[in-house]
Amino acid sequence: MTDMSYLDGNMLDGPLRELFAVDLSSATGRCESCGMVGPMAGLHVFSHAPGLVGRCPNCTEVMLRLVRSPDRAWLDLRGATFLQVPMPLDQPHPRPL
Amino acid sequence: MSPGFQGRPRSAEPALPPGQYLTEDFPVLSAGPTPKVPLETWEFVITTENGDERRWSWAELMALPQETAEVDLHCVTRWSKLHTSWQGISLDTLLDGLDTDAHFALAHSYGGYTTNLPLDDLRGGRAWVAHTYDGAPLHPEHGGPARLLVPHLYLWKSAKWVRGIKLRTMDQPGFWETAGYHDYGDPWREQRYQGD
């Protein structure tokens, strides 16, 4: 993809921090379309648009859409089959029963 | 007292829809990379709810009656551009005589973009497949070779790089409509987001 009209996924840090308590800039995601696993910070983000559109750097399919109105936010992650978020080891966490 | 001092002065320009500001340039908005579509392989397809297809090559589209339109553009990101000049083919021409009971349309584009609108909004001389802007072939960054032009709705409904229209009996939300934007998008009623 040679199009230079996008930003890298690091720019999602601020907009997503509004929604999530965890830091997603260090999260990993899997593309629903091509299956590539990579850092969310590596997405190609098209921001000259009615919302933010994060595309897979490998296949250019949409992995994330974030729309912000004055009083609401919409997050569409159907193009990402998982988000893997690093968690601190010393934090209590639920275990399988 | 002169009666001319009563009331507000008339503006030379028509009022903008609520929440919009005037721009003189032509901002480029895009949800993805600009698709490169050679005219030799370009096609436009209307698919009915029964699966019947009407298909035009670039040459076939150019052979249809051409219309010019001077229209105002209103983008949901709040800029408006007035008196823009276009040439294209009316959707009335493309839909003429088509056997359909559909009430909805889903436009789809090269590059994967989609947007939905009522089929009636594509009729009545209000919608075009536009290929010329300001007297020149439509630049790819503005949707060339051809884009949908439905200027009475917010500009995200005027799908760039349009490839076809699917007629549907049920409304199916498109790219932005599934992510919070309004199903219809009338700028004069400021229908930006769901629930507006």
What is the residue extent of each domain of chain B?
46-189
Residue B2 pLDDT class (50, 70, 90 cuts): very low
Q: pLDDT tens digit string along A20-34?
A: 877 787 899 999 999
A80 reaches B (C-beta below 8 A): no
Asked if B110 and B163 touch (Cβ cutoff 8 Å), the reply is yes
Q: What is the DSSP code string of B139-170?
A: PGGGTTT-EEE-TTS-GGGS-TTEEEEEEESS
Residue in B25, B30, B160 to test binding to A, most A beta-carbons within 10 Å: B30
- The alpha-carbon gap from A89 to the nearest alpha carbon of chain B, in Å, equals 35
Q: pLDDT tens digit string along B54-73?
A: 999 999 999 999 999 999 99
> What is the C-alpha end-to-end distance of chain A, expressed in Å?
46
* Contacting B residues, span 17-36, partner chain A, CB-CB under 8 Å: 27-34
Q: pLDDT tens digit string along B12-22?
A: 555 899 999 99
CATH 3.30.420.40 given to domain B46-189: no
The per-residue pLDDT for A87 is 80
A50 reaches B (C-beta below 8 A): yes
B178 reaches A (C-beta below 8 A): yes
The per-residue pLDDT for B1 is 43
What are the boundaries of each domain within chain A? Answer: 7-84
- Give the Cα separation of B152 and B105 in Å (integer): 16
- Among A50, A62, A73, whose Cβ lies nearest the Cβ of B77? A50
Q: Check pLDDT > 90 for residue B184.
A: yes
pTM above 0.95, yes or no: no
**Residue with more model confidence, B50 or A23:** B50
What is the residue-averaged pLDDT of chain A?
89
